[in-house]
Structure 1
Amino acid sequence: MSLILGHITKFLLELGKGFAFVGKQYHLEVGESDYYLDLLFYNIILRCSVVLELKNIKFIPEYAGQLNFYLLAVDILLKSEEDNPTIGMLLCRDKKKIETEFAPLDINKPMGVSEFVLTEELKRSL
């Protein structure tokens, strides 16, 4: 994967004006958990961070959620008031058109996350 990372890094740096390489496997700490962005750039012209996630396998919808999480984390932890919202790019080895189109649709819909505890009765029945 590091050979791929090297080529993509070189490619993005040559893409055009304004891209500054911030880091690879860029560490973010959210709560008590550690996360590592594959590549993080800052575009001076757009005044925003750019997160690039690389997947060496086919696209699955969970990747869109992961990237959305990273974008929010960068906006909260790194973005200054003068910066625009973070942009994300996901590069996969293969993608199925319909899954790729559906995954990011309405990603901003209201959602909640909760936790559950199995009762002893439920544990026995499982």
Structure 2
Amino acid sequence: MTRFITRAVLALALIAGAAPVAVVSSFEAEAGGWRWLEPRPEADIAVARSRFGNGTVSGPVRGTRVGYEVRKPNGTWIACRTSCSETLRVETVDLHENLDGTPLGMGTLAQECGIFGCLDLHLGRGR
């Protein structure tokens, strides 16, 4: 009986070892290698709409070795942070719109909207 269990365990180990190789080979053949693991850009063109009525701007998106970049209207390529459209909005149409009016944080990640969109807190003055 022990010989049967040993053979069964060896057979299962061989089957389990060969299964991932077959799955990986099928993924490589279908998806053209491991390219299906790479992130895709949001779109070929990122469109940014101002939150403060300053208009809209658009720019092409390209992929690089370290991430995606969007081109500003003056031709400068900048790395996308939260999203390419948010980065373009903060760097162009809403560059000078700060909540506290200081130049600190102007055009940075601190001015971008998060995953829940742009949440504005309107706190009333003490009554």
TM tier, shorter chain? under 0.3
TM-score by length of 1: 0.24
Greater relative contact order (CA < 8 Å, ≥ 6 in sequence):
1
| Structure with greater strand share of residues | 1
TM-score by length of 2: 0.24
Larger radius of gyration between Structure 1 and Structure 2: 2
